Amino acid sequence: MLRRPPTAIKLTQEDLALYEDARREQEEELREQIEREKERERERDNAAAGKAGGGRKMKEKEKEGKKTREERIVGGGGGGEGAGAGAGAGAGAGGVGGAGAGVGVSTPVGRR
């Protein structure tokens, strides 16, 4: 088997400076990423605290979206969730072929 001399690697001060600069950039990017993640976490915590304090608003929105039993059976209100620019080919979530009832499958409000 043939032997060759070992490969000699020569590093200059410039090579070391480039390596150190690249290393600093990587560390800075990592710090920025960690800071962005912490900021997102703070925003999520604030949003969760806002939801806990604004529960009344959420309940009001839920009431707006729910239909009474009679509305669901009789179909008062037209197309419901399936509403769209359709030709009435398919009933929405409570509509019985009402005006603009959407095409396709729709789910009743609150059953997703």
The alpha-carbon radius of gyration of the chain (Å, integer) is 31
pTM above 0.75, yes or no: no
Phi, psi of 74 (to 5 degrees): -75, -30
Residue-level pLDDT at 68: 74
For 13, 23, 24, 93, the CA distances from 20, given in Å and listed in that order, are 10, 5, 6, 63
pLDDT given for residue 26 in this prediction: 97
Q: Profile the chain (112 residues) by mean pLDDT over runs of 10 residues.
A: 88 96 97 95 86 60 69 66 47 48 54 52
- pLDDT score at 102: 47
pLDDT at 48: 82
pLDDT score for 8 = 92
